[in-house]
Amino acid sequence: MAVFVTKQAPEFTAEAYVDGDFKTVSLSDYRGKNVVLFFYPLDFTFVCPTEIMAFSDRIDEFKSRGVEVLGVSVDSKFSHRAWAQVDRKEGGIKGIAYPLVADLKKDISREYGVLIEEAGLALRGLFIINKEGVLKHVTINHNDLGRNVDEVLRLVDAIDFSEKYGEVCPANWQKGQAAMKPDAESLKKYLGGAELVAN
C-alpha cells in the first residue's frame, strides 16, 4: 500500500515497550488524538538515541497539545527494553517517556514505505496523523540525517490551527502568528505586508 497525505494512515497492532513493561498497541488506540509516528533504523545505534531522547525530553510539550508520540524500529520488544535499561551517558535511552513499537516482521515499516528491503531496516520516516486517523504530514530522511523536534512541534501546531480555524499557514508560520484565509485577497494582504489578525 502506498502511503499518501490526505489518506487514512495504515492501521497496525504490535507489541511495544511502554514504561518498563510490554503492551500491545494499535494505532486505533489513539483515535481522537494527533499522533507523531516516527521510524528509526535500529536500537543500539548512533543518531537514533539522540532523536529518541530529544522527543522524550519534549514529551510534555507534545502531551499539552494532545499529541501522542510513538517510535518504531525493526527490533524486538526485548531489544527495546534492553536499550531502555542503558543510561543515556552510555548511549542508552533510559527514561524514555513514550512507547517503542517492535516491528520485528517489518510489516509496519513496509506498509509505511520506509523499509529498505535489502538492508532489513527502516529509514527515518516521520508521519503526523490527525485525530481522525488521516495522514497530514510525511517526511523521510536518509539515515545519516537526524530530525528536528522544534519543526515537528511547529507542524503539529500548524495542523491544529488549520483544522480548528480553516485557515492556511504560510511559510515559516509559528504558533501565535496570523495565518491566511485560502483566497486571493488574503494572499495579497499577506504578501503586501498588511497586518493580519492572529486567531
Determine whether 169 is an active site residue.
Answer: no
- Burial class from Cβ neighbours inside 10 Å (0-12, 13-18, 19+) for residue 110 reads middle
Q: Which of 14, 25, 48, 123 is catalytic?
A: 48
| Alpha-carbon torsion, ordered 133, 26, 137, 77, to 10 deg | 180
What is the CB neighbour count within 10 angstroms for residue 195? 8
Task: Please count the helices (runs of H) and the strands (runs of E) in the chain.
Answer: 6, 9
DSSP per residue over 69-138, as a string?
EEEEESS-HHHHHHHHTS-GGGT--TT--S-EEE-TT-HHHHHTT-EETTTTEE-EEEEEE-TTSBEEEE
Q: Which residues are catalytic?
A: 48
